Amino acid sequence: MNPRYRNLGVAAAFSAGIVWGFLGLFVRGLNGEGLSSVQITCLRYIVVAAVLGIFMSVFRRDLFRIDRRGFATVLIIGILGTALNSVCYFGAMERISLSLSTVLQYIAPFIVILLSVPLFGERMTRTKAAAVLMAFAGCILCTGFLNDPGSIDVTGVVLGALSGFFFALYTLGSKGLSRHSVSPISVLFYSSLVCCVSLVPFSDIPGVVGAASSDGHLVLLIIATGILMTLLPFGLYNYAVGKIEVGTASVITYVEPLTATVVGFIFYSEAVTAESVIGIAVILLAVMLVNRGNVGPVGRRGSG
* pLDDT tens, residue by residue, 222-260: 999 999 999 999 999 989 988 888 888 888 888 887 788
149 pLDDT above the threshold of 80: no
Is residue 7 very low, low, confident or very high in pLDDT (cuts 50, 70, 90)? confident
- Gyration radius from the chain CA atoms: 19
144 pLDDT above the threshold of 90: no
Q: Give the three-class secondary structure for 99.
A: helix
Of 263 and 60, more confident:
60
Of 194 and 98, more confident:
194
> What are the tens digits of pLDDT across the range 267-288?
877 777 788 888 888 888 888 8
In this predicted structure, what is the pLDDT of residue 150?
62
What DSSP line would sit under 250-300, residue for residue?
Answer: HHHTTHHHHHHHHHHHHHH-----HHHHHHHHHHHHHHHHHT-S---BTTS
Choice among 21-30, 44-53, 148-157 with the minimum mean pLDDT: 148-157
pTM: 0.82
> What are the tens digits of pLDDT across the range 95-128?
776 667 777 888 888 888 888 888 888 888 888 8
